[in-house]
Amino acid sequence: MMLQETPVWLDGVTFPATDPTRPLTARADVAIVGGGYTGLAAARELARRGASVALLEARTLGWGASSRNGGMVLTGLKLEAEQLVAKYGLETARRLFAASLKALDCVERIVAEEQIACDFARSGHLLLACKPAHFQALAREAELLDRDFGHATRVIQPSRLRGEIGSDTYVGGLVDEASARINPARYVAGLAHAAQRAGAQLYQHAPVERIARAGSDWQLTTPRGTLRTGAVLLASGGYSGAATPALRRKIVPLGSYIIATEPLPEALAREVSPRNRMIFDSKRFLYYFRLTPDRRMLFGGRAGFFPETPATVRESAAILRRGMIQVYPQLRDAQVEYAWGGTLDVTFDMMPHAGQLGGLHYAIGYAGHGVAMATYLGGLLGACLAGEQVDNPFAELPFPGAPLGLYDGRPWFLPIVGAWYKFLDWVS
């Protein structure tokens, strides 16, 4: 079979139909820039509360990271609990971690309310230690989560790891049963249908070229016309462009790549992932992997740091196949049928942020935890824009930019960062 350079998740998925010739509405209460999890969750919440909403997507609904990720709905944030406590103190760290659990519950609730057939299940995640020092850190993390956060996890000793993964590459692990799996494309399509049913106006192929003040309103300019609105929510993640330069300078668009094999025989699938967990390892230049519902091995990682292009997808597919065979020698003969890339939105402090910047509302910086957190923060900001009081701990965090301000949104330094991370993985 010829390699397909599209996400395996898109097979059989139907997004809402929109009329590409329809001009933009002249006015809306809220305009949302970006048609992924954040924007669609916000549009759904706003429309359900009676607001008029216009969502503008530069390409097609769910086109970006929302349909290109590994389908892992994870507890926690990119920073571990120990790092959160050291950076923000225990009380704030507890609020931030609790928000990650609320985010998971939020996804589960929306899937049930909207009856989205997206294979959501609480299968748990397995974090694998690459070195003995990493395993010791996992044990400390488990103790901290239990003692100070009231969140139970389970340390997997090296001798018992074979019950979780059919590989001898790792030296122990940590299981969190609260995490979940999902088909991300079916989920984002379901969110889009739900937002449309609620009354939100969804516009595809409507890139926002300019956002400017127009009296007390905002005016958004697109190739399909202009729109005036009382409030704007920026929800374009790692694909944020020149229309929002202040926000663009706050994030680094980071490439992440995935391959998917042919469907594996049932016995082989059960061998490589006996409990069907969401699995990732402890490296900075990490691998993450799982089985799909049709028993394909989906294997991803930071094979290249630059955002996806046809060339980087093909180069990364070869790198990831070598990594997969290193972890799972028994998959040497499995054909790789899909390869694709996506762009993560990573902030300089590796934390999500949601609030206002220059009068524009935003939620951004999920760093690989976006299925749950983008849904949650999108819904939270939607409720806030509808006039509700919300508890948003991410609005209270300092939002740093690049050191010395030497960054304009074009990540020229990514090869240096990649080399540095590889060095740290080698020495740590």
Write down the domain spans for the chain. Answer: 8-427
Whole-number pLDDT of residue 20:
86
Tell me which H or E stretch contains 269: helix 266-272
Cβ atoms within 10 Å of 393's Cβ, excluding its own: 17
Secondary structure E strands in 204-269: 210-214, 217-222, 225-234, 251-261
pLDDT in tens, 299-349: 999 766 566 778 889 999 999 999 999 999 999 999 999 999 998 899 999
For residue 56, which of 77, 25, 85, 83 has the smallest C-alpha distance?
25
pLDDT in tens, 195-228: 999 999 999 999 999 999 999 999 999 999 999 9
pLDDT tier at 279, thresholds 50, 70, 90: very high
Question: Has domain 8-427 been given CATH number 3.50.50.60?
Answer: yes
Helices (H), 150-208: 184-198
Pairing relation of β-strands 360-364 and 225-234? parallel
pLDDT in tens, 221-275: 999 999 999 999 999 999 998 999 999 999 999 888 999 999 999 999 999 999 9
The single-letter DSSP state of residue 89 is: -
Segment 127-149 shows an average pLDDT of 98
% of the chain exceeding 90 in pLDDT: 86
pLDDT in tens, 168-199: 999 999 999 999 999 999 999 999 999 999 99
For the chain, what is the mean pLDDT?
94
pTM, two decimal places: 0.96
Helices (H), 49-161: 65-68, 81-88, 90-114, 132-149
Whole-number pLDDT of residue 203:
97
Axis-axis angle for helices 37-48, 184-198 (nearest 10): 30
CA 205 distance to own-chain centroid:
22
Question: From residue 51, how far is each of 182, 284, 385, 387 by CA, in Å?
Answer: 30, 42, 9, 10
pLDDT for residue 420 is more than 60: no
Give the whole-angstrom CA distance, residue 55 versus residue 62. Answer: 12
pLDDT in tens, 35-78: 999 999 999 999 999 999 999 999 999 999 999 999 999 999 99
Segment 112-116 shows an average pLDDT of 98
CB-facing half-sphere around the CA of 192: CA atoms within 13 A: 27
